[in-house]
Amino acid sequence: MARSGDSFALGALVSLSVMLAPGSGHAANLLEILFGGPIKHRSSRVEEVPAVRVAPDAAPRKAAKVVPAAKISGPIYYTYKADPLQKVDFSALESLPQTAAFGPMAVLSNFREAAAGLKNFDLYAEKDIAKAMSDYYAANPEFIWVNGFSANSRAADAVRVLGEAASHGLLPAQYAVSVPSPAFSMDATGSRLAELARFEMTMSARVLRYVRDVQNGRINPNLISGYYDFPAKPLDLVGVLKALAGSQDVASYMESFHPQAPEYRILRAELETLSASAREEIVVDPRLLLRPDETSAELPKLIRLITANGDPALAADHADVLAAYGTGEIYVPDLVPFIKAAQKSVGLKADGVIGPRTVAKFAGQSDADRVAKLRLALEELRWLPSTLGDTRVFINEPSFTASYFEDGVEKLKTRTVVGRPSNQTSFFYDQIKQVDFNPYWGIPQSILVNEMLPRLRRDPGYLDRSGYEVTDAKGRRVSSASIDWGAYGSRIPYSVRQAPSEANALGELKILFPNKHAIYMHDTPQKALFNRDVRAFSHGCVRLQDPRGMAAAVLGKSRDYVADKLKRGHSSEKVTRTIPVYVAYFTAWPNAEGKVEYFDDIYDRDDRLKAAMAATDAVRAPNG
């Protein structure tokens, strides 16, 4: 979490504006305080719109009744409600007409006789699964999982896949099926048929649950919070049963519903490795603070963890120093380059001071903690498309990074600033559409109402003085001073934008992927924030340390091309390729070299996802 002192001092701004008399030449506007100094406009070719001007000494008009101040609230978290289970309706199968059959193998076509054994059989499943089963078997009264008087090879393959659920971060008990024993008495064929019918239905219910879970996830993220925004991933469950009935390779078919992205395979392999390991845990004091020439018994333990879990090249590059001082308790100056290199390798500020964040990166999480993060990451990947795309932009909020991939190779990785905990960046995906050079900043209504309106009620003309443009509902420019801002609550019928300038909140570039959250990537005047390890300071958008590099990448142009466009003032350019962008939230994620890295849960979303999973587990538990 970001410390309050590391965030924008917006509370201080409000207090400061109270102290400054309205209209005073010393009154600084919001953006001047945020970004420092008066606004200096860049040259830009901007269409001029006639403004409605008010004489400075005009008599103020009579103010309308002041509307009480209001706030625009952001998304909230909900109490997660899992899909309820319902009893599968077998009534259409219990009275199927019988067919003539002879000999023990007659059961191949005698599903109709076996279906009578479903009377008084209580099987519960999710609503869509229960309906799919009723619809499928009413139209196709035949066994999928049974041949003769036994479970068939198709069932054996499916049971094996279901039994591997734990390796995908799932709970095997939720897909468990008891397979009938091969041994039975031919004198009890009626009860055997009933047993097989019940096995058939249980098998189909659990296979459908598995397929649905591995394609779409066990939970619906949109029911956790308004910060999640994922489209539905359609799944034809009746079609799945039809495909299973005709499949000669059930295992491959079931496994095809898992995410096919390489990252999924890496995360799964890491989960299997950690789950199987019985290595001794090395515990380092999480409050350790150690500077060069200081002594601590925790130092050699931390060094062991860095060499064991860090980049193998680290140990190789500093082998001599580690051999000489790696087991000692004195933090000798010769060890500082090794510690700095280790800090840099995990995205920390390479200052050589061993503090809680350095300890947390290498020793702050047990294998159990990492396993929990991996299970969540596998679940979250199921919300995304099965393949992420060879060319894409991937933003991971907990790691404060944005990467551009082309042909599956990471070509650019840059630091980011994301939303503060009170203005969280959402989790969704979209497509890159446009790059704006020397952009305008359209002030979001939430910022206008929550942060600017109190000042505007006292000093309605400050937007005019500070280089902002105000337009009415018809797009006509109006003077901020001519508006009675006290007449509005949370619904302001005006739009406000900040013209391109050195102090523009978006800096010199904006990269758009239009979405209902009004989130995009952009430059920022506040470059110093990129030097911090925790970079959650924005109103929700994603600020880039290297916006020119990202703009060049998505446009398929050079940095020189971007620089030249910036010299020409305000303009926009469409992105002509299909480039998906993932604004994601993973506290466990593989880097470009395939090594899984672990990050802090900056928004406490992991705990909320765990709670949603627990709610799903509670619903499923009574009925397996």
State the chain's mean pLDDT as an integer: 86
Percentage of the chain beyond pLDDT 90 is 66
For residues 87 and 119, the answer to whether their CB atoms sit within 8 Å is no
Q: How many angstroms separate the CA atoms of 20 and 17, rounded?
A: 5
Q: Which of 448, 438, 443, 468 is nearest to 541 (CA)?
A: 443
Residue with tokens 């897909």: 175
Average pLDDT over residues 119-139: 95
pLDDT on residue 229: 96
pLDDT on residue 593: 93
pLDDT on residue 42: 39
Q: How many angstroms separate the CA atoms of 334 and 341, rounded?
A: 12
For residues 1 and 424, the answer to whether their CB atoms sit within 8 Å is no
pLDDT on residue 97: 63
Q: What is the pLDDT of residues 34-62, one digit of tens each?
A: 333 333 333 333 333 333 333 343 344 45
Q: Which of 338, 310, 312 is nearest to 326 (CA)?
A: 338
Burial class of 65 by CB neighbour count within 10 A (0 to 12, 13 to 18, 19+)? exposed
Q: What is the pLDDT of residues 297-314, one digit of tens each?
A: 999 999 998 988 778 888
pLDDT on residue 37: 38
Token couple for 214:
């591995």
Q: Which of 622, 460, 433, 374 is nearest to 58 (CA)?
A: 460
Q: Residue 421: which residues within 8 A CB-CB, separation 6 or more?
A: 1, 2, 536, 602, 603
Average pLDDT over residues 410-428: 97
Q: How many angstroms separate the CA atoms of 489 and 390, rounded?
A: 47
pTM: 0.79
Kindly list the domain boundaries of the chain, sorted by start residue. Answer: 1-72+443-498, 85-271, 298-365, 388-440+500-586
Q: What are the φ and ψ backbone dihedral angles of 171, each rounded to 5 degrees?
A: -100, 110
Superfamily of domain 388-440+500-586, CATH level 4: L,D-transpeptidase catalytic domain-like (2.40.440.10)
pLDDT on residue 365: 75
CA geometry: angle at 16 spanning 11 and 18, to 5°?
105
Q: How many angstroms separate the CA atoms of 474 and 177, rounded?
A: 64
Q: What is the pLDDT of residues 219-275, one digit of tens each?
A: 999 999 999 999 999 999 999 999 999 999 999 999 999 999 999 999 999 999 998
First to last CA, the chain: 38
Q: How many angstroms separate the CA atoms of 290 and 394, rounded?
A: 35
For residues 430 and 515, the answer to whether their CB atoms sit within 8 Å is yes
Q: What is the pLDDT of residues 172-212, one digit of tens each?
A: 999 999 999 887 766 667 788 999 999 999 999 999 999 99
Q: Residue 526: which residues within 8 A CB-CB, separation 6 or more?
A: 34, 35, 417, 537, 543
Q: What is the pLDDT of residues 428-482, one digit of tens each?
A: 999 999 999 999 988 888 889 888 898 899 999 989 888 899 999 898 999 999 9
For residues 402 and 607, the answer to whether their CB atoms sit within 8 Å is no
Q: How many angstroms separate the CA atoms of 520 and 514, rounded?
A: 8
490 pLDDT tier (thresholds 50, 70, 90): confident
